[in-house]
Amino acid sequence: MKLLARTTVFFLIYASIVAVGGTFVYYGFISKIYYAYVDRTLSRRKLRVEKALRLHLRTPADLAFWHQLDHNVEFKALSAPGPPVSFSQRMMYNELTGQIVPYRQLAAPVEFQGRPYRLELRTTMLDSQELLARIVLAGALLFGALLVGLLVLQHFLARRMWAPFYHTLGELQRYKLDQHQPVRLASTRIPEFKELNSALSRVLNRNQRIYHRQREFTENAAHELQTPLAILRTKLDLLVQAPDLTEEQAGHIEALLEVTQRLTHLSRSLLLLAHLDQQLFFPTETVDLAAAVRTQLGQMREQLSVNNLTLTIAVLETLPLAANRSLLEILVSNLLSNAIRHNVPGGELIVTLTAEEFTVQNTGRAQALPADQLFVRFRPGPERPPGSVGLGLAIARQICETYGFLLNYHFQAPARHIMHVRLQ
Amino acid sequence: MKLLLVEDEPELLASLVSYLQAQHYICEVAITYAQAQEKMLLYNYECIVLDLTLPGGDGLELLRELQRHQKAAGVIITSARAAVDDRITGLELGADDYLPKPFYLPELSARISALVRRRHYQGTNLLQAGKLSVDVPARRATVEGHPVTLTRTEFDLLLLLLANQGRVITKGAIAEHLSGDAAEQFDTFESVYAHVKNLKRKLTEAGASNYIRMVYGLGYRFDTSSET
């Protein structure tokens, strides 16, 4: 749930609790006030009745007559003085409506001509209850309107005030470590966001600096390696010319040659990766991918026959692409050589190229490779053969990224490994 | 045949001199920009092997100067800078070839001899080695007049061998020569064995046997004197 939605929900829960509780409290409060008012009116009427008892009424028949005129005034003769003044609620038949309706009643002991009576004064609560209900309804409506208004207001305010946050979030989502332009976060007057943005900018720019420095380091390191490697290679070239070389010496030299070869490959691969990372300019030309695939396959004929592999090709006649020739060749060669290297003797190699995709399938170990680690630089793992520097697939993926291709690995039981390049 | 080797790394320079002198080239050396500039403008060289990063200046500047003075020397750039635009700029400035470091000495030797041949013999260009003669522009080889049919790769291999006669060429050098930079993917040298075997068989069938000898497991040597 989004932050805003979450706060709104909590706000809503709180508001409805307050609204429900508030309505009850409000109702109780209003009705209390109303009863107090009714009771005061009844008390005032009682004073008037007491005055009338003293001044105008003569006989008990007058009392009965009064009750007949006004049902809400009733006298009851008592043998002993009655209980003190009390208010109560009672249900009674109402002639006007023909229904039993609630009444508020005041019962008070009075004295008439020296004898005790109980006076009951009543007033109907029918209209007043309706009134009460309306008052409460009006209150509830008001409350509701306030609530809705507040919600809407909160929503819009939050959206407006959180705008810098969402902008920053968007920037972060688009952020790539290797992008060239620095991150630009929107300026805001809200101190918290200001601090957030400045902290983020600091971190991001620092990261970028470190990343660039590291890339430069890789490139420089690879460069610096070339000259010592050149010396090593040329010295070995001279060493093998020695006229009285023994077989044992030759063996040592061969090992050195091999290591030098590996180092050279390693440093060149690193350099290539550094250049790809930097998105250095690689001149683009029209390259026939189909021809490149066929050429590379031709160069690997020996490896294929040594491992006794069956090659199946379904490659388009021609597929011109705008790309750098050497990069495409490296991509194709890395995928193909990988498929040969990790094959089993007597296995299969299937190469297909359509306008949409380039696929290399090979038989191999009866176990899927960890797809998430496959394209990692210097990938460790048991499937890495001795002598491999573990950069081939990383380079392949980087080349694919450069040209917007998508490189994927699939495993098909029982033992088929598939490399998939989606072109465009 | 006079060469100028421009290289600031003394050990590498020593290797170049040692190998190329044994190939009967006359080698002069320059280890700074200023030295290179002076010698380049003062004398005429068949070929200049030029490192780009030099104390005192950029090798590409030397190329510009060479162009300004219209010196007719072939130039092979050897550089540790693998940047693509360096290669392009170098070739645009009139360099004939570009060999990234680290390189194999037989490869450099082959490039030099190819360059020298291109510059000297337009049209006919016949290489002789024992009974074997090779017409480079026509890409044709004959043994005592009998044509030997070679594939493109076998012919390239033969040129490498001929440019380094009597020297041991390691398998790595052959592999790189045959497949370029891109094909270092294999640590196995099966294709080298296969190509050498085929070439050897074809030459033997044509009557030039034992020219190519394997030197332990290291590599191969082309030698017409070892003919039996």
- Whether residue B215 and residue A306 make contact (CB cut-off 8 A), yes or no, is no
pTM for this structure? 0.68
CB-nearest to B190 from A245, A302, A337 is: A302
Chain A: give the shortest CA distance to residue B125, in Å.
28
Residue B164 has what pLDDT?
Answer: 92
A268 CB neighbours in chain B (<8 A) are 82, 181, 184
A243 CB neighbours in chain B (<8 A) are none
Residue B227, pLDDT > 80, answer no
Residue B228 has what pLDDT?
Answer: 46
Residue A174 has what pLDDT?
Answer: 83
A261 CB neighbours in chain B (<8 A) are 172, 184, 187
A300 CB neighbours in chain B (<8 A) are 186, 191
Query: B45-58 as b/e, with b when 16 or more CB fall inside 10 Å?
Result: bbbbbbbbbbeebe
Kindly state the average pLDDT of the residues B156-174: 91
Residue of B54, B185, B192 to mutate when probing chain A, most A C-beta within 10 A? B185
Residue of B52, B99, B218 to mutate when probing chain A, most A C-beta within 10 A? B218
- Whether residue A265 and residue B191 make contact (CB cut-off 8 A), yes or no, is no
B184 CB neighbours in chain A (<8 A) are 261, 264-265, 268
Residue B226 has what pLDDT?
Answer: 57
Residue A220, pLDDT > 90, answer no
Residues of chain A with CATH 3.30.565.10: 285-422
Q: What is the ipTM of this complex?
A: 0.89
Domains (range + CATH), chain B: 2-120 (3.40.50.2300), 126-222 (1.10.10.10)
Residue A383, pLDDT > 70, answer no
pLDDT single digits (tens) A295-309 = 888 888 878 888 889
- Whether residue A303 and residue B88 make contact (CB cut-off 8 A), yes or no, is no
- Residue B36 pLDDT class (50, 70, 90 cuts): very high
Residue B192 to residue B177: CA distance in whole angstroms: 10
- Whether residue A234 and residue B218 make contact (CB cut-off 8 A), yes or no, is no
Higher pLDDT, B219 or A131: B219
Nearest-Cα residue of chain A relative to residue B169: A237
Residue B39, pLDDT > 60, answer yes
Nearest-Cα residue of chain B relative to residue A337: B185
Residue A384 has what pLDDT?
Answer: 67
Residue A98 has what pLDDT?
Answer: 83
Residue B184 has what pLDDT?
Answer: 53
Residue A137, pLDDT > 80, answer yes
Chain B: give the shortest CA distance to residue A401, in Å.
19
Average pLDDT, chain B: 86
Residue B19 has what pLDDT?
Answer: 94
Residue A350 has what pLDDT?
Answer: 94
Poorest-pLDDT segment among A41-45, A114-118, B54-58, B84-88? B84-88
pLDDT single digits (tens) A320-331 = 999 888 889 889
Residues of chain A with CATH 1.10.287: 174-280
Which CATH number is associated with domain A174-280?
Answer: 1.10.287
- Whether residue B190 and residue A330 make contact (CB cut-off 8 A), yes or no, is no
pLDDT single digits (tens) B95-150 = 899 988 889 999 999 999 999 888 877 656 788 888 899 988 888 899 988 899 99
Residue B84 has what pLDDT?
Answer: 65
User: What does the H/E/C string look like for chain A?
Assistant: CCHHHHHHHHHHHHHHHHHHHHHHHHHHHHHHHHHHHHHHHHHHHHHHHHHHHHHCCCCHHHHHHHHHHCCCEEEEECCCCCCCCEEEEEEEEECCCCEEEEEEEEEEEEEECCEEEEEEEEEECHHHHHHHHHHHHHHHHHHHHHHHHHHHHHHHHHHHHCHHHHHHHHHHHHCCCCCCCCCCCCCCCCHHHHHHHHHHHHHHHHHHHHHHHHHHHHHHHHHHHHHHHHHHHHHHHHHCCCCCCCHHHHHHHHHHHHHHHHHHHHHHHHHHHHHHHCCCCCCCEEEEHHHHHHHHHHHCHHHHHHCCCEEEEEECCCCEEEECHHHHHHHHHHHHHHHHHCCCCCCEEEEEECCCEEEEEEECCCCCCCCCCCCCCCCCCCCCCCCCCCCHHHHHHHHHHHCCCEEEEEEECCCEEEEEEECC
- Whether residue A227 and residue B80 make contact (CB cut-off 8 A), yes or no, is yes
Residue of A231, A234, A389 to mutate when probing chain B, most B C-beta within 10 A? A234
How many Cβ atoms from other residues are within 10 Å of residue A217's Cβ? Answer: 11
- Whether residue A240 and residue B11 make contact (CB cut-off 8 A), yes or no, is no
Average pLDDT, chain A: 85
Chain A: give the shortest CA distance to residue B181, in Å.
9
CB of B218 within 8 Å of any CB in chain A? Answer: yes
pLDDT single digits (tens) B183-224 = 455 555 777 888 899 999 999 988 888 889 898 888 999 988
- Residue A400 pLDDT class (50, 70, 90 cuts): very high
Higher pLDDT, A106 or A221: A106
Residue A407 has what pLDDT?
Answer: 92
Which CATH number is associated with domain A285-422?
Answer: 3.30.565.10
- Whether residue A230 and residue B185 make contact (CB cut-off 8 A), yes or no, is no
Please report the residues numbered 65 through 124 in chain B whose beta carbons come closer than 8 angstroms to any beta carbon of chain A. 78, 80-85, 88, 100-106
Q: Cα–Cα distances in Å, from A44 out to A37, A224, A279? A: 11, 111, 97
